[in-house]
Amino acid sequence: MDQPKIERMLRLLKLLTANNRYTISDLANRLQTSDRTIYRYIDSFREAGFVIKKQGDITRIDKSSPYFKDISQLVHFTEEEAYILKSAIENIDENNLLKQNLKRKLYSVYNYKILAETVVKGKNAENVNHLIDAMENEQQVVLENYSSANSKNVRNRIVEPFGFTTNYIQIWAYEPSSSENKLFKLSRIENVKISNTVWQNKDKHRKGHMDLFRISSFKQYPVKLKMGLRAATLLIEEYPLSERELIRITDNEWILQTNVCSFEGVGRFVTGLLEDIQIIDSPEFECFIRNKLKTYNI
């Protein structure tokens, strides 16, 4: 069996276990092959013992099939996991022939299409796929019945989507009606409908910042912290991207100097480790923490 065929079969196996609603034609388009080939692959899966279910035009592998759980939870990379893997690979000697192969494999996996199929489950999966298609083709979309936390209303929003935040929780999009770039939460979108209208405002698309505490905003605020070994270790474990901004002073003293999009994310971390963290040269953040502690009566 040739390698491209094996790769297509593995990708098909993953698509059929990912709780997506694909027709045979959808699957053929995604794998860039024919409907006939998809039917042939599915017959091979059936012969191997997988239970194939059809609901109308939708084909999927039943959860009772052997190895279903293992296949449906195939490895995926978040931005943080990809950063850790990339850092590890970069530390390999340049003369090692494995280095370029490892990098190529990592980058072949770490892309919108594959990441979305493994990270996003349930009702959001189809919406994410529509948004990916719209971004690739530079088309506007209608976010149908979007529930806004700010305006407290539910209505359709016409936007130009151009980027996701970590793990597909939110989408960056330009909204022509308000002439603003905004974040829209995927869980608040009932349905995504791709418009026939192409982007009209590409030159105005601007992503906001994403800080290491996974908070997004167009504004940033400087924060400087001195922390002990315990706090520094927990920070790296919980927020791996922080390793790039931590400076080791001694074996038990570390400095974090970074910009955050909101004091909320870093504030939650600091209030849980007050005995091991000192705020330095950050009067606004110090005031924020002081007010938080008053609220908690600490």
Question: How do 191-198 and 180-185 pair as beta strands?
Answer: unpaired
Type and span of the H or E element at 170: strand 170-175
Task: Tell which residue, 91, 78, 67, has the closest CA to residue 120.
Answer: 78
Q: Which residues pair with 227 in a beta bridge?
A: 254, 277
- Per the rule left: phi > 0, alpha: psi between -120 and 50, beta: everything else, 59 is beta
> For residues 249 and 171, what is the distance between their CA atoms, to the nearest angstrom?
38
Task: Tell which residue, 194, 193, 170, has the closest CA to residue 182.
Answer: 170
Instruction: Report yes or no: 234 and 276 within 8 Å, Cβ to Cβ.
Output: no
pLDDT of residue 79: 55
Instruction: Report yes or no: 194 and 144 within 8 Å, Cβ to Cβ.
Output: no
Q: What secondary structure letter does DSSP report for 248?
A: E
Helix (H, G, I), strand (E, B) or coil at 33: coil
Tens-digit pLDDT profile for the chain (298 aa)? 456 677 788 778 777 876 556 789 988 888 888 999 999 998 888 887 888 888 888 888 877 766 655 555 444 455 566 666 666 666 666 555 566 566 555 555 555 555 555 456 566 778 888 898 899 889 999 999 999 877 778 999 999 999 887 667 889 999 999 999 999 999 899 999 999 999 999 999 998 888 999 888 888 999 999 999 999 999 998 888 888 899 999 999 999 999 999 999 999 999 999 999 999 999 999 999 999 888 766 5
Residue found by looking up tokens 């996991």 in the block: 81
Q: Give the number of other Cβ atoms within 10 Å of residue 200's Cβ.
A: 11
Task: Tell which residue, 274, 80, 101, has the closest CA to residue 166.
Answer: 80
Q: What secondary structure letter does DSSP report for 187?
A: G
pLDDT of residue 154: 92
pLDDT of residue 22: 79
pTM of the model: 0.54
Task: Tell which residue, 265, 255, 257, has the closest CA to residue 292.
Answer: 265
Task: Tell which residue, 290, 270, 268, 269, has the closest CA to residue 278.
Answer: 270
pLDDT of residue 99: 61
- Biggest alpha carbon–alpha carbon distance for the chain: 68
Q: What angle do CA 205, 161, 76 make, to 5 degrees?
A: 115
